[in-house]
Structure 1
Amino acid sequence: MQAEFVLDYRSPYCYLANTQMKRLGAQIVYTPVDIVSVMKKVNNQPSSMCPPKAKYAGIDAARWARHYDVPFSPNGGVLEALKQGQLNKPLVSRVGVAAKEMGIFERVNDALLEAVWAGADDLTTDKGRSSFLASRSIRSDLWEIAASPEIAHQLAANDQNAAERGVFGIPTFFVDGEMFFGNDRLHFVRTHLETANKVSGK
């Protein structure tokens, strides 16, 4: 049984959920999106637009990290660069799309989420990005490919498809046609997978 994981690297909850994916015992299909683009399509808005909600999200994410017993130390340099527009916001998601096309997604996905939410890597400069890739033995042309029009087009297609299927936030999961929203719904995802496997005799 497959579970689809719709994600954006700007979300701490995507990082948290990603730490639990291997425990689901299912084949995971990852779909990177630009969640701001998706939200605009469905008339939603990011938590950052509501300061009290954004503040609480940080506290809540730290609680979940303790619950999962995983590192959580948001990369202030990356987050500030995203906030100030010094780092192209969709580009981060394009890296995920490019990694899928290049056949290196799993390694890149884990490394990128950890760099943003549990690391201190410099992802805002060419030198920093090169160092990030080299230290993890990832192809040096990843960022260049991610910036290509072809990858931008694929990300836009992912966004449109997600909006048409009812995605309004992340992380979102699809299992056998059922949609589940939020890191805190992973127990429902797990239960649905277990039930589906029993029905299919697996």
Structure 2
Amino acid sequence: MSDPIDFYFDFGSPYGYFASLRIDELAAKHGRTVTWHPVLLGAIFKVTGMKPNLEQPLRGEYLTQDVGRIARLTGAPFTFPDSAPANGVAASRAFYWLADEHPEQAKLLARAIYHAHFGEGQDIGPADTVAEIAAKTLGSLGIDRAAVTAAIQDPAVKDRLRSEVDDAVERGVFGSPFFIVDGEPFWGWDRLDMVDRWLATGGW
């Protein structure tokens, strides 16, 4: 099997949310797996000089219209959160706490956090909210609130997230979602069809 597709996303990104609903199925069609990498766009923007879309004149207004249109097009559950743009630090730390030893559990958690935020409109910034979502999603697998709360404050987990963000910047990641397929970068939910074609043809 070929190398996994790297999927970079920020939990506060609605386009990352839409990509998360499709990327694994798309990859499986081509015999690929996907490695998920939550990152913090706020830290990346310090490198690029960009600002969150919602804080940009005209672009912010466009985004709110565009994401609703994508939700209607795809049938994805969607409620624009009052808390947007969300702080994804706690969610990202919880993910990396699980990712190495339990990657599928980490993906389940990421999907649940994304659904809570963009499917239901919850504020997923607070650590208590992330711990509650994790316990609800993974409680049957032995994950409880106390363990997640402790993990979010674990210095090793904090370092892991910082390392992942630094690595993403080194690889040229500047937005969410961002895909790297055999070294080829693709930015944006609307590039998934191109990723599909690239995988089918071997590139061009």
TM-score range, shorter chain: 0.7 to 0.9
Distance 2:45 2:202 in 1: 30
Distance 2:57 2:91 in 1: 23
Residue 128 (structure 1) shift: 4.6
Aligned Cα RMSD in Å? 2.3
Contact in 2 for aligned 1:94/1:146 (Cα 8 Å)? yes
Candidates 65, 68, 79, aligned match of 2:74: 68
Candidates 32, 48, 55, aligned match of 1:49: 55
Cα-to-partner distance string for 1:53-92 (whole Å, 9 max, x where unaligned): 122112111111112111111333x437x4xxxxx54223
Aligned residues: 190
Q: Give the share of equivalent positions with the same residue, in percent.
A: 26
Contact in 2 for aligned 1:75/1:115 (Cα 8 Å)? no
Deviates more, 1:93-102 or 1:59-68: 93-102
2:170 paired with 1:164: yes
- Report what 1:85 is aligned to: none
Distance 1:150 1:126 in 2: 17
Higher relative contact order (CA 8 A, sep 6+): 1
Distance 1:129 1:167 in 2: 25
Residue 36 (structure 1) shift: 1.0
CA distance change for structure 1 residues 178 and 136 in 2, over 3 Å: closer, same or farther? same
2:185 paired with 1:179: yes
Cα-to-partner distance string for 1:69-125 (whole Å, 9 max, x where unaligned): 11111333x437x4xxxxx54223222222314512121011011011001556466
TM-score, with normalisation over the residues of structure 1? 0.83
CA distance change for structure 1 residues 153 and 129 in 2, over 3 Å: closer, same or farther? closer
Contact in 1 for aligned 2:113/2:133 (Cα 8 Å)? no
- Report what 2:110 is aligned to: 109
Distance 2:16 2:113 in 1: 11
Instruction: Extract unaligned runs of 5+ from structure 2.
Output: none
The DSSP-based 3-state class of the residue aligned with 2:78 is coil
The DSSP-based 3-state class of the residue aligned with 1:72 is coil
2:78 paired with 1:79: no
- Report what 2:8 is aligned to: 6
Distance 1:50 1:39 in 2: 13
Contact in 1 for aligned 2:186/2:195 (Cα 8 Å)? yes
Deviates more, 1:44-53 or 1:4-13: 44-53
Distance 1:151 1:101 in 2: 11
Distance 1:127 1:56 in 2: 32
Distance 2:173 2:76 in 1: 27
The DSSP-based 3-state class of the residue aligned with 1:116 is helix
Instruction: Extract unaligned runs of 5+ from structure 1.
Output: 83-87, 198-202
Contact in 2 for aligned 1:115/1:121 (Cα 8 Å)? yes
CA distance change for structure 1 residues 165 and 129 in 2, over 3 Å: closer, same or farther? closer
The DSSP-based 3-state class of the residue aligned with 1:167 is coil
